Amino acid sequence: MSQQEMTTPQKKRIFSGIQPTGVFTLGNYIGAVRNWGALQDEYESIYCIVDLHAITVMQEPAALRANTMRAYALMLACGIDPKKSVAFIQSHNPNHAELSWVLSCSTMFGELSRMTQFKDKSARHADNINAGLFTYPVLMAADILAYNADLVPIGADQKQHLELARNIAVRFNQRFGQTFTVPEPYVPASGARLMSLQDPTKKMSKSDENANACVFILDDKDTIMRKFKRAVTDSEAEVCYREGKDGINNLMTIYSCVTGKTMDEITAEFAGKGYGDFKSAVGEAVADHLAPVRSEFARLSADKAYLNECIAIGSEQAYRMTRKILSKVYRRVGFVDHK
């Protein structure tokens, strides 16, 4: 071992993933993906388009394939550099699904029944409450534990799943000996839960039926301006962050996240001005913030060969990193060595 290897502490590891179920929303971007890029210098980072998770709800195969490629290009356009991070597609690394099976035998039915996302999704897809929808959080735990990730950058809605992953890791370690790192969530202090522009008591979500509820990161400037102008607020005329002002609080959070201004600065900036001016300013700031992502996406999408090369390299790296951990897991649980 060289002197440098002996003295340089190993970088901590990050893992996170996103579903390829459509263009990323402003919520996905601010709550999670933009932090992925920001953290990749400091951590050994692994980022993944989770197509295995996507099929827990009905997908049209050709659309899923196209959406997965688009999501991969979007991930890079949001700042993930495949030279710095391992960036790949989940189904290209079979170790996730293999580990998921082993972990499912250390996960209790009762724990999975308590997952709020399962309850929400099974209410929304009552005709398709499949076993995958139920065991989805085990696969998510496998995604993270397969890399022994230290940190998982996510929005607030994924905290319960992360908590379960931690419990599974602890339980497995207690039963079979120290095997997994127990991961910590990385949830941004601001913007971890952006709300719908049409119903600010609900999370901003891709699957919202109201087209004005959600800003997509590839929306053009006119569309972004229109969505913010129509955002539901309240009947007062005061831009300030206060309980009960859900719509304004959400717009202030968004404005703060894209400009770096504090809530007090925003209140001062719009003192004496109406909501119309404020909404236009938020729209402008968001459109300016997303413009480089849109142009980088256009550039990358035109270079399929580059994308395919990055995907191939990423999945190879991911496979190698996880195979070692999976072999250890197999030995721990008592499987005979595969010669």
**Catalytic residue numbers, as ranges:** 121, 203, 206
Four-residue CA torsion sign, 218, 75, 312, 59: negative
CB 271 within 8 A of CB 277: no
Q: Which residue is nearest to ligand TYM (CB)?
A: 31
In whole angstroms, what is the distance from residue 269 CA to residue 249 CA? Answer: 15
Cα radius of gyration rounded to whole Å, the chain: 21
Out of 155, 185, 200, 247, name the contact with ligand TYM by CB under 6 A. 155
Task: Report in angstroms how near the CB of residue 237 gets to ligand TYM at its nearest.
Answer: 26
Q: Of 15-23, 79-87, 222-230, 298-306, which segment contacts ligand TYM by CB under 6 A?
A: 15-23
Given candidates 75, 146, 152, 281, which one binds ligand TYM under the rule CB under 6 A? 152
Looking at beta carbons only, is 142 or 225 nearer to ligand TYM?
142
The kind and range of the H/E element at 293 are: helix 275-301
Question: Is residue 103 close enough to count as binding ligand TYM by CB under 6 A?
Answer: no
CB neighbours of 169 closer than 8 A, spacing ≥ 6? 141, 145, 180, 181, 182, 183
Q: Which of residues 175-234 bind ligand TYM (CB under 6 A)?
A: 192-194, 203-204
Query: How far is residue 299's CA from residue 293's CA, in Å, rounded to a whole number?
Result: 10
At closest approach, how far in Å is the CB of 162 from ligand TYM? Answer: 7
Q: Does 255 interact with ligand TYM (rule: CB under 6 A)?
A: no
Q: Is 318 in the site for ligand TYM (CB under 6 A)?
A: no
Under the binding rule (CB under 6 A), the answer on residue 135 touching ligand TYM is: no
Which DSSP state fits 179?
A: -
Number of residues this chain uses to bind ligand TYM (CB under 6 A): 25
Determine the interface stretch with ligand TYM among 5-13, 25-33, 75-83, 305-313 (rule: CB under 6 A).
25-33
Interaction of residue 16 with ligand TYM, rule CB under 6 A: yes
Sign of torsion over alpha carbons 309, 313, 316, 319: negative
Instruction: Mark residues 44-63: x for contact with ligand TYM by CB under 6 A, - for none.
Output: ------x--x----------
* Residue position matching structure tokens 């072999």: 327
Please state, in angstroms and as integers, the Cα–Cα distance from residue 182 to each residue in 144, 147, 209, following that order.
Answer: 9, 11, 37
Q: Which residues contact 301 (CB under 8 A, 6 or more apart)?
A: 70, 73, 307
- Please report, as ranges, the residues that interact with ligand TYM according to CB under 6 A: 15-19, 27-28, 31-32, 50, 53, 140, 143-144, 152, 154-155, 157-158, 161, 192-194, 203-204
